[in-house]
Structure formats: structure tokens, C-alpha cells
Chain A
Amino acid sequence: MTATSATAPPGGATAPEARPIRSRARSEWKGLAFVAPFLVVFVLVFIAPVAYSIYLSLFREQLIGGNAFVGFENYLALFADPQFWEGFGRVSLFLVVQVPIMLALALVAALAIDSARLHASGFFRIVIFLPYAVPAVVAVLMWGFIYGDNFGLAANINDWLGSVVVTPFAREWILVSIGNIVTWEFVGYNMLIFYSALRVIPTDLYEAAELDGAGPMRVVTGIKLPALRGAIVIATIFSIIGSFQLFNEPNILRTLAPNIITTYFTPNMYAYNLSFAGQQYNASATVAIVMGVITAVIAYVVQLRGSRKEER
């Protein structure tokens, strides 16, 4: 208070400035009224749960002995928890292998459909997209039947080959099996992102390219791919988030391969089982916060790199 009054200029000078400040303040309030509905929901479903998770992560509640503030002990315990890092390593491996494959397939599909050389492109578009419309739970159950090496399609193939070759639920294949399901589910979704980005490229660019004698491949590398950069960055970020949040597919397959898919197979499964099987709500909240931060950082770095290239 005293500092403000001391630095305040003489009365005459403040008077003319006061009006614009007040009106700016008023318009700011008007703006706030417009975003208020969003803010209320945002605070309720985003800020509040995150704040509560952070709060939870600073305490430790025991079955015997009640609740106590423990500072960052839960975080230190998590950083030293091999089960967490095993799950984290697994989704990271999944990320670097599955995401490029999925996005490459989606890109090829989008370019093919956009090339105008494909008959019935509308049909292909819907067929590739269709798996995305199948609820993940149903999709995984379906793949579970296909993978079944006692009675499923895998068993039939093994019978036909006369030896046990196809074992989708074996420890060394399970991640590939899950990756296959996820790819099947999301290629169509990513294809649609790419395809819609391709549709907004002005046609005069193609005409100009044709006049310059550019072949179809040159059009792809010279026009289409650069135009797709933004869409690829977005799809990559979505896929990174999806990989780190891997849960549905392994969790449902767990009933079919209970010993191969552990309770800490992915960080999300670990968080889920910590809280719902072990009542370790605090540890679970810690996993959620740490994974949230890691995901945000990686997604941000990807976005930064993506947009920097665009500027060049």
C-alpha cells in the first residue's frame, strides 16, 4: 500500500489514465463471462482432479495407522520402484516401434486415397476407418479369440502347420500382439487426420506442378508431405499420449494371459492396480502425476521441434 502511494504521480496525471484502465477491466470481465462456462467445467473436471492427485501424492494412508503427510517420499519411492520403470520402459519401446509403423501405414493409406488413382476410394476410406468405430473392449475381445492358441485362429494355424509356431500370448510376442491390435484400431483415425489435411491443399498447386512437369512422386515429396507436417505433428502427439496411457488392450488380454501381462505391465495398469487392488491411492496418484508430467514434456518437445521445422 505504502509503496504504491509513494510512487503514484501527482493527482492531475492519474485522472486521464484512470478511464481506459477501468474500461479495459470491464471488457476483461465481459470476456471472462464468455469463457466462464468452459472455465467452470475445466476447473471441475481437470484442475480439481489434478490438484487432488497432487494432494494425495504428498500423503501416505495405511490400512493400520491412518493418514500422514510424507512430503515427497512417495515420489522418491516411485523413482526407485523397478516395477514402475519396467512398465515405463515397455510403453517407451511400444512408442518407438508401434507409432512409426502405424503413422507410416496411415500416411500411405491417406496418400493412396487422395491420389485419385484408386477406384472406390470412398469405400477404402470407410473400411480403413471402421476399426476405430469398434469399441476398444470389443476389439480386444475379438482379437483375443483370434490369438487364442488353444482354440482360436492361432491354434488352427498351428494345427495346419503341424507345430506350435504362432504364439501371440507368449512373453516375447505379447507386445507385438498388442501393437498389432492398437495399429488396427488407430490407423484409420490417423489416416483421416492426414486425409483431411491433404484435402485442404489448393488445387492450383497441383496444376502448377503439372505444368512444371512434376511426376506423382515429386508431387508427394514436394507438395503433399510439407503440407502434412502440421497434421503429422498432431498425430504423433496423440499417439505418444496414447502409448503412455496404454491400458485397455493389455488389461483385457490379461484374463487370457494372466502370467505374461503383470499388474504393472504399463504405468496406467500399475496405477489402476495400486489403487483398486491394493488401496495404495497415494502411490497411485504419484504414478499418475509423474506419467502426466513425462507425457506433457515429451509431447511439448515434439511440438516444439515440429513447429520449428515448419518455420524454416
Chain B
Amino acid sequence: MTTARTALRRTLTVAAAAALAVGSLAACSAAGSTESGTADDLDAALEAGGKLTYWSWTPSAEAQVAAFEEAYPNVDVELVNAGTNTEEYTKLQNAIKAGSGAPDVVQIEYYAIPQFALSDSLVDLSEFGLDQLEAQYSASTWGAVNVDGKLVGLPQDSGPMALFYNAAVFEEFGIAVPETWDDYVQAGRDLHAADPTKYITSDTGDAGFTTSMIWQAGGRPFQIDGTDITVDLADEGTQKWTGVWNQLVEEDLLATTPGWSDEWFKGLADGSIASLVIGAWMPGVLESSVADAAGDWRVAPMPTYDGTPVTAENGGGGQSVTKQSENPALAAAFLRWLNSDPASIEVFLESGGFPSTTADLEDPEFLAIESEYFGGQKINEVLTQASKDVSEGWSYLPYQVYANSIFGDTVGQSYANKSDLNDGLAEWQNQLVDYGNEQGFSVNE
């Protein structure tokens, strides 16, 4: 196989025509290696029916399961809300350690996927031919469910970042929508100077936000090659971000309201938190939890360093099939329906989710939606563009869930002291290196 491929590769260099042949041959060999299952097997499994357990906290899960059971009456899916993000991961981790109790299909956010993929807890879905769905998904979300050459999940939603801002506040204080980060920092100064109760944004140190910001700035602090890991939280991209964000932190221009607290939602409603740089799933949250500010908010592209549009993913996730599943073919079939069947995605979109499927992202109907909450703005035009501008080549640590849990202990201290973020990042790096080595990886060695 390898020799054949090298031989073919050699011919590739000889003639362009040969390249086409290689492409088709490679496709053939890939299809040939899927011994344990194909799309037909999945259809057969759906026909045969059975029972599945599905863990999810997404608001659309219940309606999706109901629609699925209606379409496939032989299959009985038990939906369990095992808690939101880390709560669920804790339970999943415990079930994996115990060797039983894990669901067949489980929701996992992109940042946590490598952790479960690494412990070999997730089924490689290319065994069931689901790798052929690649073209349906945006590149960044597809990259997030592929770990070490294995397809360990299918993307559900995505969170390309954009700038959500309170236009009423911006207008009142004569602040222009910032296009670069320098503008953004200046806007923060101007706003806070004009009204000390108002802040350009809130940030008390959030690992998900920080990693996404580093991602956008071009930093790639986590390099993973099997169990060899490099952590460099002082790389060029990271320092580019701290260069901007340090100004906001040190000049006390950030609201110190922890994200997702009641105070935070109040701040978003009354204008004291004037903007958020956050994932494209935010509109649904604003509509449901910050209803008072309807009409005030708008969306703009994420500010950049040099004017070239570039963004990053923030949050979002997909579903995976666990190795503990007794009927992986059926589980994979359910997952295929869940994240690629139009009937399922319609339910998902109705619940306010932001899709990862390109067909839906580019659907003229989707793009033309005029959001009432956003004063009639066609927000999906901005957000879909953002999904195309996501910078490539990012990866999370295979123990990112733990990494994020100690973010407050380390980088959070810089936030609390209003001091240089680089110090906190260095401490974060130290602890991540120690932990990784303790756990048997070789980190920075």
C-alpha cells in the first residue's frame, strides 16, 4: 500500500494527468478500507431498530429526538440531560473510567473532543462511511471533529466570532463601530471616559474566549503530534493579542462581571456592557435572556489587527458515538440523521442554533432573515461571512477541559491584579506542561 502510494506520488510529479489518477485511486483505497460498515449498514440498522441513549443539553434535542422517532419508529432514543458542558464531561469521564454507563451518542463541545478522542473512548465514524459527509460542513468545524486522522464526531453548531454591539449606546456616545483592535481599545477608553458606568465589554478571564482570541491573532499555542505536545503561550500570535488586551485590562476598561451571571445579563440589557466579541450562537441567547434590549443590538465583523478579515471559532460542538455503545451502527445512523438530515437541522435552526452545514449557511432564505431583535439587520450575512473567515490550523490540548478549569488560578490572577496577561499565561503554561508530563504525555520535551 505505502509503496504503491509512493510510486503513485512519484508519477504525480511527472504529469498533471497522473494526479487525477492518484486522486481516484486514493479514494478507492479509502472506500475499500471501510470494512466494518457503510451507509447501507446504517440504513439496515435503522430498519432493524433498537434502543439508544443520547446525552445532550441543547435546547433542540427533545424536538429532534421526537422527529427522529417519528421517522424511524423502530428506534427508541432515550434523551438524558446529563448537565451542561463540564458537568456532563465529568459524568462521561466517570462512566468511561467505570467501564459502563456512558451513552451511545453524546454531545461534546469542540474544545473537549480531543480529550475524549485521546482516551480512545469515541468511535471512528469513518468506519461507517460518515467521512464522506465532509463536503457538507464548514472547514473549521470539520477540522474540529477530526483528531489524529480519525473522525470522532459530526459537527452540529458552530461559533464563528463576530462583534455584537449595543448600537444605542454606541450612538449615544458617538462611538464608531471599530474595525481594528486599536479602534476597539480606543472606543473602550472613549466610552468609559464619557460615562464611567459603561464598559466596552466584560471579561474576567475566560479560557474559551482567550483561546479564541489567540486563534484569531494567529497564535497556535498548542501543537499536538500524538502524545508529543508543545505548549507555547508566548508565541507571536498570543503576544499580538495580549498587546491589545493588556491595555484594556491594565487601564481598567473591562467590566468585572463574570460571564453568564445574572449581573452580566443585566449589564447587557442596560448598556453598561456595550459589546461582546463572541460566537455566532449569541443571538439566540440575547433574544431569550436579554429581551429588554431588543432593538439595541447589532452585529459587525470581528475587529482585526490589520484590516484583513479573519476570525476564529468560539464554542460550538457536535455529537459523538462512544465505544461503550452496544449498537454503534445504530448510534452512528442516529448521529448521521441528527447532524445532516434536513428535517433535523430545521428543528435545530428553529431553536436559534447557528449551523455548521454549509448548505444551510449559504441558503438564501437563511441569509435573508431580518432579525427583529437586531432591528431588522440581516445578521446571518455577517455571521456566515465570519464562518468563511475562520483562521485555519488551530488545535486544542488533549486535556483542554482540565486546562480551562485552572485558567482562573493562573491567567485569572492577571485579570484580578489588572496586570500583564503574559505573566498569567506563562503560569498557565507551566501548570499545563507539568500536568501533561504527569499524565504521560511528553510536553515541551
Which residue in A151, A152, A256, A276 is a CB contact (below 8 Å) of B258? A256
Chain B residue total in the interface (Cβ 8 A): 35
| A-chain residues with CB within 8 Å of residue B58 when the two chains form the complex | none
Given contacts A62-B439, A171-B416, A276-B90, are A259 and B118 in contact (CB under 8 A)? no
B405 contacts A278, C-beta separation under 8 Å: yes
User: Which one of B205, B415, B440 lies within 8 Å of A62 (CB-CB)?
Assistant: B440
Contact B263 A148 (CB under 8 A): yes
Dominant secondary structure of chain A at its interface with chain B: loop
Contacts of A280 in B (CB 8 A): 438
Distance between Cα atoms of A254 and B402 in the complex (Å): 16
Interface residue B377 (Cβ < 8 Å from any Cβ of A): no
Q: A62-B440, A278-B435 are in contact. List 20 more A-B contacts (CB 8 A).
A: A62-B439, A63-B398, A63-B439, A65-B440, A145-B262, A150-B256, A151-B266, A152-B263, A254-B408, A256-B261, A258-B204, A258-B412, A259-B204, A260-B416, A262-B409, A264-B409, A276-B90, A277-B406, A279-B97, A279-B439
30 pairs, A vs B, C-beta closer than 8 Å: A62-B438, A63-B398, A63-B440, A64-B227, A64-B439, A64-B440, A145-B262, A150-B255, A150-B263, A150-B267, A151-B266, A152-B263, A171-B416, A255-B261, A256-B258, A257-B258, A258-B408, A258-B412, A259-B205, A259-B408, A259-B412, A259-B413, A262-B409, A263-B408, A263-B409, A277-B401, A279-B93, A279-B402, A279-B439, A280-B438
**Residue interface bits B317-356, CB-to-A below 8 A is 1, else 0:** 0000000000000000000000000000000000000000
Cα A64 to Cα B441 in complex, Å, equals 6
Binding site for B on A (CB under 8 A): 62-65, 145, 148, 150-152, 171, 254-260, 262-264, 273, 276-281
Q: 1/0 per residue B416-445: CB within 8 Å of A?
A: 100000000000000000010011110000
The proximity string for B residues 193-218 relative to A, scoring 1 for CB distances below 8 Å and 0 otherwise, is 00000000000110000000000000
Q: What are the residues of chain B within 8 A of A148 when measuring CB–CB?
A: 263
B299 CB, min distance to chain A CBs, angstroms: 26
Q: Does B11 contact A (CB under 8 A)?
A: no
Q: Smallest CB-CB separation from A64: which chain B residue?
A: B440
- With a cutoff of 8 Å between Cβ atoms, the chain A residues found around residue B435 in the complex are 278
Q: Are B441 and A63 in contact, CB atoms less than 8 angstroms apart? A: yes
B416 CB contacts on chain A under 8 angstroms: 171, 259-260
**Bound: A257/B402 CA distance, A:** 19
